[in-house]
């Protein structure tokens, strides 16, 4: 028997740049049995999938691998949310340390800046610089020591080496000035203090803005319900959400949060679902209505039966899906990670080479020019912005999507949205309300009660919206279902039951005819002239009759189609329903191209045919019969009101019934993709432009040298600018 993969999320302390991400992933992937490892710099967590082998590979081995790479593992969790809580605590602790070092560093650095004006002696300057270098820059030096132990360089290596180079040279000038030429007797205390203060400031600001990028999802985590009032015996007890079992009854009073997903047993109320759907208008709830964990009960008391544990509630799944998709790497970030893996060693080699060139062939004082270029190249080239470019944008974009009532399964959707050509809409339950009602029953060979009893029995176990309408119609007339011995579903066609010696089919006319139902051409024509969808019922080849069903078009459908067309997308309708009805709905919403009277397999083949023509296709559906097409489309988009299998097959799920949210979600994906590319462009351009300047390339022509403290400030500014650019995605105007 094949062992099932184990999924674990490790919160890691010490990740600061893209090189750290590459190093941690490489350390984990080198272990035999590890299937995948994805480190997320924004949340400082690592998601690992592996095959646990007793005595050979376990979570302890994963921790050891990360620690050997030079990082601290803060624990383990099967949930990214729990792991991020631990990481968030460590990050807040680090923020406090950085702030204290920054404040203390400013106190020590101020006299160094005014040393000449205050006429401080050389030894006083050294005594002030020593605690600034050792204590104020300890977080960099600690990283340098770890990089030496693991023989891999990163951002801390560059910053620490640059400050030590400036400090040791300045100390040498102070203690042994007579051994140097007069022109070389210039200390670099301004470089030491400037680098430590400005880079520490940049890291602190980056940490603050990084937290803001994740704020939307952090808000969901904070306001998630923690307890529920559960019926135990004759009374209700307040218990933690984790202790509530599926099937138990929970009481929600007016003004309280709904703790878990479930179904209303009794009571009438309105519920604010804006947290999940983005829609501000409360939704009426009564017996039989579905309610979601995290929503707010407004007016009346409700008793609900719990349908899912707290860890699987709609809110928990949204938070987890957003976090998982934020941690997943789009192709462009995987390329950036490969660059980062070799970037720091190349920078060190370049800096040393440039310093040697200036030391041998530069103008006097050669040592000062060589040292300045060495320190400046080290300081300016830290790849922080490169590592933050994608995860911060993805976190901010996914968080904004969650606020809109949309969650996206993986980050590659962002790439795919930017390349879309066609959006295919299913009809029933997608463009229409999905709540059809029976307008009439046309009898052919059957008696009314007999036809209703067979139809009720056949549709009792079906998830199709037509089935629900038939059940409501039959039960409203007091009909009892015929006994059922077996049930079989044929997605997109109908259902089959056996009741004693009888075989009953309920479904499309074409399917019934294929299976021997006695339908004349005139009867088919007469039924198809009816203004509505048709659900036929046949017993052992005898056609009993047909239900005529009507379903209203969603009010937002026409506006959504117009918005998608305005984005340059082609919009088609694809349906298993009759041509006449499909074209009627298409005309109502403004769609010109229709594929009608096709089964689920043909839907999938239609998607594949469009893709073979070079078109990128998004499929929007919500039914069991849409799952094949959703799974083969470039992007599968499901409505949360749909079946579980459709939601599982989709890359994007809309919690709201407002289809205009779809256009907003696609625009947000495009904007997120654009911000990622902007971030990466500026991260690369910054290094390509400033490394030559730091190396002194402009000095021979313009006499310009980049001072180390300015190089450090530029490096810090690049990380902060990437974070601030990502924060634009949190705006509500999309």
Q: Are residues 471 and 597 in the same domain?
A: no
Is residue 666 one of the residues assigned to a domain?
no
Q: Are residues 418 and 372 in the same domain?
A: no
pLDDT above 90 for 141:
no
pLDDT of residue 78: 53
Is residue 664 one of the residues assigned to a domain?
no
pLDDT of residue 188: 76
pLDDT above 70 for 335:
no
Three-state secondary-structure class, residue 187: coil
Place of tokens 């006299």: 111
For the record, the structure tokens of 578 come out as: 């009759």
Instruction: Give the tens place of pLDDT for each residue, 171-230.
Output: 888 898 887 777 667 777 877 887 788 778 777 776 666 555 555 555 555 556 677 888
DSSP state, residue 344:
H
Q: Are residues 236 and 296 in the same domain?
A: yes
The count of domains in the chain is 5
Q: Are residues 557 and 546 in the same domain?
A: no
What is the rounded distance in angstroms from the CA atom of residue 4 to the CA atom of residue 51?
7
> Which residues, at least 6 apart from 613, have a Cβ–Cβ distance to it below 8 Å?
none
Average pLDDT over residues 683-701: 84
DSSP string, 385-446: HHHHHHHHHHHHHHHHHHHHTEEES-THHHHHHTT--EEEEEIIIIIB-S--EEEEEEESSS
Average pLDDT over residues 546-564: 89
600 close to 507: Cβ distance less than 8 angstroms = no
Which residues pair with residue 573 across a beta bridge?
Answer: 425, 594
Active site residue 72: no
Q: Are residues 258 and 133 in the same domain?
A: no
Is residue 401 one of the residues assigned to a domain?
no
- How far apart, in Å, are the Cα atoms of 3 and each of 32, 54, 58? 14, 11, 13
Higher-confidence residue: 234 or 457? 457
385 backbone φψ class: left, alpha, beta (φ>0; ψ -120 to 50): alpha
pLDDT above 60 for 370:
yes
Domain boundary among 87, 120, 144: 87
pLDDT of residue 612: 92
What is the rounded distance in angstroms from the CA atom of residue 403 to the CA atom of residue 413?
18
For the record, the structure tokens of 111 come out as: 């006299």
Model confidence at 537, pLDDT cuts 50, 70, 90, reads very high
DSSP state, residue 258:
P
Which range in 274-278, 311-315, 333-337, 707-711 is most confidently predicted, on average pLDDT?
A: 707-711
Is residue 300 one of the residues assigned to a domain?
yes
pLDDT above 60 for 353:
yes
DSSP string, 515-569: TT----HHHHHHHHTSSSEEEEEEETTEEEEEEEEE-PBPTTHHHHHHHHHHTT-
Query: What are the respective helix, strand and coil percentages of the chain, to the nearest 5?
Result: 55, 20, 30
Helices 189-213 & 155-175 angle (0-180, nearest 10): 160
Q: Are residues 150 and 193 in the same domain?
A: yes
Given 187, 272, 337, 426, the catalytic residue: 426
Peptide bond just before 341 cis, omega within 30 deg: no
Q: Are residues 427 and 469 in the same domain?
A: no
Contacts 24+ apart (CB under 8 A), 289-293: 289/263, 289/264, 290/261, 290/262, 290/263, 290/264, 291/252, 291/258, 291/261, 291/262, 291/263, 291/264, 292/258, 292/261, 293/224, 293/225, 293/241, 293/257, 293/258, 293/259, 293/260, 293/261
Domain boundary among 87, 110, 127: 87
Q: Domain holding 30: CATH number?
A: 3.30.70.100
Model confidence at 505, pLDDT cuts 50, 70, 90, reads very high
| Ranges 97-106, 261-270, 523-532: which has the least confidence | 523-532
Instruction: Give the tens place of pLDDT for each residue, 105-140.
Output: 889 888 887 888 888 888 998 999 999 999 998 888
Is residue 406 one of the residues assigned to a domain?
no
Burial of 57 (0-12, 13-18, 19+ CB in 10 A): middle
Q: Are residues 331 and 229 in the same domain?
A: no
Is residue 681 one of the residues assigned to a domain?
yes
Is residue 661 one of the residues assigned to a domain?
no
Q: What percent of the chain has pLDDT over 70?
A: 83
Average pLDDT over residues 378-383: 73
- Exposure string of 323-352, with b = 16+ CB inside 10 Å and e = fewer, is bbbbbbbbebbeebbebbbebbeebbebbe
Average pLDDT over residues 663-682: 88
Residues counted in the chain: 734
Domain boundary among 516, 550, 584: 550
What is the rounded distance in angstroms from the CA atom of residue 44 to the CA atom of residue 395?
12
At 722, phi and psi to the nearest 5? -65, -45
203 close to 716: Cβ distance less than 8 angstroms = yes
Q: Are residues 136 and 82 in the same domain?
A: no
Q: To the nearest whole number, what is the mean pLDDT of the chain?
A: 80
> Which residues, at least 6 apart from 221, have a Cβ–Cβ distance to it below 8 Å?
81, 85, 319
Burial of 538 (0-12, 13-18, 19+ CB in 10 A): buried
Q: Domain holding 244: CATH number?
A: 2.70.150.10
pLDDT above 50 for 148:
yes
Instruction: Give the tens place of pLDDT for each residue, 27-83.
Output: 888 888 888 888 877 677 888 888 877 767 888 888 888 888 878 887 766 555 566
What is the rounded distance in angstroms from the CA atom of residue 149 to the CA atom of residue 153?
10
Instruction: Give the tens place of pLDDT for each residue, 415-460.
Output: 788 889 999 998 887 888 877 888 888 888 888 998 999 999 988 8
CB atoms near residue 283 (< 10 Å) = 17
636 backbone φψ class: left, alpha, beta (φ>0; ψ -120 to 50): beta
Q: Which domain holds residue 302?
A: 221-313
pLDDT of residue 523: 78
Q: Are residues 210 and 330 in the same domain?
A: yes
The model carries a pTM of 0.65
Average pLDDT over residues 622-641: 79
At 213, phi and psi to the nearest 5? -65, -30
DSSP state, residue 56:
T
Q: Domain holding 522: CATH number?
A: 3.40.1110.10
Instruction: Give the tens place of pLDDT for each residue, 598-616.
Output: 877 888 899 999 999 999 9
What is the rounded distance in angstroms from the CA atom of residue 601 to the CA atom of residue 519?
25
Is residue 160 one of the residues assigned to a domain?
yes
pLDDT of residue 18: 66
Burial of 268 (0-12, 13-18, 19+ CB in 10 A): middle
Q: Are residues 448 and 526 in the same domain?
A: yes
Model confidence at 1, pLDDT cuts 50, 70, 90, reads very low
Q: Are residues 123 and 264 in the same domain?
A: no
What is the rounded distance in angstroms from the CA atom of residue 313 to the CA atom of residue 237?
21
């Amino acid at each position: 028997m094949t062992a099932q993969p184990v999924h674990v999320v490790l919160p890691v302390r010490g990740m600061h740049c893209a090189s750290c991400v590459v190093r941690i992933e490489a350390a984990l992937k080198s272990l035999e049995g590890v299937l995948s490892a994805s480190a997320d710099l924004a949340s400082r967590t690592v998601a690992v999938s592996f095959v646990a082998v007793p005595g050979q590979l376990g979570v302890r081995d994963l921790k050891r691998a990360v620690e050997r790479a030079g990082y601290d593992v803060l624990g383990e969790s099967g949930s990214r949310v729990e792991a991020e809580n631990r990481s968030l605590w460590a990050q807040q602790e680090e923020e406090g340390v950085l702030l204290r070092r920054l404040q203390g560093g400013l106190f020590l650095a101020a006299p160094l800046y005014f040393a000449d004006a205050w006429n401080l002696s050389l030894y006083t300057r050294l005594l002030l610089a020593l605690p600034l270098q050792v204590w104020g820059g300890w977080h960099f030096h600690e990283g340098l020591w770890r990089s030496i132990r693991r023989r891999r360089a990163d951002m801390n290596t560059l910053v620490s080496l640059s400050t030590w180079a400036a400090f040791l040279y300045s100390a040498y000038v102070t203690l042994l000035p007579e051994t140097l030429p007069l022109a070389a007797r210039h200390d670099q205390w301004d470089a030491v203090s400037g680098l430590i203060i400005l880079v520490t400031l940049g890291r602190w600001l980056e940490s603050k803005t990084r937290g803001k990028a994740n704020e939307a999802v952090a808000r969901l985590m904070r306001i998630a319900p923690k307890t529920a009032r559960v019926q135990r015996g004759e009374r209700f007890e307040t218990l933690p959400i984790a202790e509530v079992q599926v099937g138990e009854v929970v009481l929600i009073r007016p003004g309280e949060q709904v703790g878990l997903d479930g179904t209303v047993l009794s009571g009438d109320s309105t519920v604010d679902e804006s947290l999940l759907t983005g829609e501000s208008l409360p939704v009426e709830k009564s017996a039989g209505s579905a309610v979601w964990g995290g929503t707010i009960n407004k007016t009346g008391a409700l008793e609900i039966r719990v349908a899912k544990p707290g860890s699987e509630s709609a809110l928990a799944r949204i938070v987890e899906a957003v976090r998982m998709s934020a941690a997943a790497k789009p192709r462009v970030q995987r390329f950036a990670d490969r660059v980062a893996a070799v970037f720091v060693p190349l920078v060190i080699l370049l800096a040393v080479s440039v310093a040697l060139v200036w030391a041998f062939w530069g103008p006097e004082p050669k040592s000062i020019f060589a040292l300045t270029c060495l320190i400046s190249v080290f300081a300016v080239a830290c790849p922080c912005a490169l590592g933050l470019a994608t995860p911060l944008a993805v976190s901010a974009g996914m968080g904004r999507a969650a606020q809109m009532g949309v969650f996206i399964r993986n980050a590659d959707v962002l790439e795919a949205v930017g390349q879309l050509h066609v959006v295919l809409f299913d009809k029933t339950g997608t463009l229409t309300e999905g709540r059809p009602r029976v307008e009439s029953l046309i009898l052919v060979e059957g008696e009314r009660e007999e036809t209703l009893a067979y139809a009720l029995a056949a549709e009792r176990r079906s998830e199709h919206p037509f089935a629900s309408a038939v059940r409501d119609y039959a039960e409203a007339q007091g009909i009892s279902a015929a006994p059922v011995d077996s049930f079989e579903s044929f997605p997109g066609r109908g259902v089959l039951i056996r009741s004693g010696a009888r075989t009953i089919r309920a479904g499309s006319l074409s399917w019934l005819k294929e299976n021997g139902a006695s339908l004349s051409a005139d009867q088919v024509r007469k039924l198809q002239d009816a203004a509505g969808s048709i659900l036929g019922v046949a017993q052992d080849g005898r056609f009993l009759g047909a239900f005529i069903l009507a379903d209203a078009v969603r009010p937002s459908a026409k506006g959504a189609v117009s918005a998608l067309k305005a984005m340059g997308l082609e919009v088609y309708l694809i349906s298993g329903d009759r041509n006449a009805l499909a074209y009627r709905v298409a005309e109502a919403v403004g769609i010109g191209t229709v594929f009608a009277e096709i089964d689920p397999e043909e839907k999938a083949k239609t998607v594949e045919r469009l893709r073979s023509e070079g078109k990128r296709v998004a499929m929007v559906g919500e039914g069991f019969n849409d799952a094949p097409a959703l799974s083969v489309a470039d992007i599968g988009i499901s409505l949360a009101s749909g079946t579980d299998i459709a939601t599982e097959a989709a890359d994007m799920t809309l919690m709201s019934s407002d289809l205009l949210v779809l256009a907003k979600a696609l625009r947000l994906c495009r904007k997120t993709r654009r911000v990622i590319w902007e971030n990466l462009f500026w991260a690369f351009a910054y290094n390509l432009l400033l490394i030559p300047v730091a190396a002194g390339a402009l000095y021979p022509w313009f006499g310009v040298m980049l001072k180390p403290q300015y190089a450090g400030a530029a490096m810090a500014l690049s990380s902060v600018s990437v974070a601030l650019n990502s924060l634009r995605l949190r705006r509500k105007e999309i």
